[in-house]
Amino acid sequence: MKKVAVLASGSGSNFEAIANAAQASDSPYEVVALITNRADAFALERAKSLSIPSYTVLPNQFHNKVDYEQDILAKLRAYDVDWIALAGYMRIVGPTLLEPFRNRIINVHPSLLPQFPGKDAIEQALAAGVSHTGVTVHYIDEGVDTGPMIAQQSISIAEFDTYNILQMKLREVEHILYPQTLKHVIREDELIEKNSVN
């Protein structure tokens, strides 16, 4: 059973979806901690209701990003974390976290990357007038939504879709695709580990 920590900045609905999926009998992972960079993140309430340990690490309480991420890294190591899932974590991951977890940090993004990376992906899609958008699950690298893609799912944009309607459609996809993809990459990694031992 692999140990997953979730980093979030906001409501934490994807955190909850990942945690709920971990309860399935065939899940290859368990969620051992939530870390947020905002004291008012609703994800903290979700963690409390799920009895998952949670921590708030505020960037402005540190001299620099390295110190901030070292504090997070210490918490991850205390739980012997294997994988990190970003769930609406609104900060670029620096090398302090990226290097120890290279190819073991994944993120969900509300667009069909490489289209509409970064913030405001839903607004970007609506402003562009495209007929389809979707959800991408990808590995994290040094860039902004530039890491290798793992899974995508497309949805159509109806003529009268507002931001809120489109966000709701995308969230429904995220809550299924993200936990499924997390399970998939962890199982694949376990197979590679077993084969390398043999």
Which residue ranges make up the annotated binding site?
12-14, 65, 90-93, 107
Residues 6+ apart with CB under 8 A from 82: 2, 3, 4, 29, 104, 186
Task: Please tell me the distance from the alpha carbon of residue 97 to that of residue 11, in angstroms, as a whole number.
Answer: 23
Q: β-strands 54-56, 83-87: how paired?
A: unpaired
Task: Please tell me the distance from the alpha carbon of residue 178 to that of residue 137, in angstroms, as a whole number.
Answer: 7
Task: Please tell me the distance from the alpha carbon of residue 37 to that of residue 17, in angstroms, as a whole number.
Answer: 20
CA dihedral angle for residue 116, residue 188, residue 86, residue 50, rounded to 10 degrees? 140
Instruction: List residues forming the annotated binding site for (6R)-10-formyltetrahydrofolate.
Output: 65, 90-93, 107
SS3 content of the chain, % helix, strand, coil (to 5): 40, 20, 35
Which of 193, 119, 88, 109 lies closest to 151, judged by CA? 109
CA 29 to chain centre: 15
Tell me which of 109, 132, 175, 184 is the catalytic residue.
109
Tell me whether residue 175 is one of the annotated catalytic residues.
no
> Which residues are marked as active site?
109
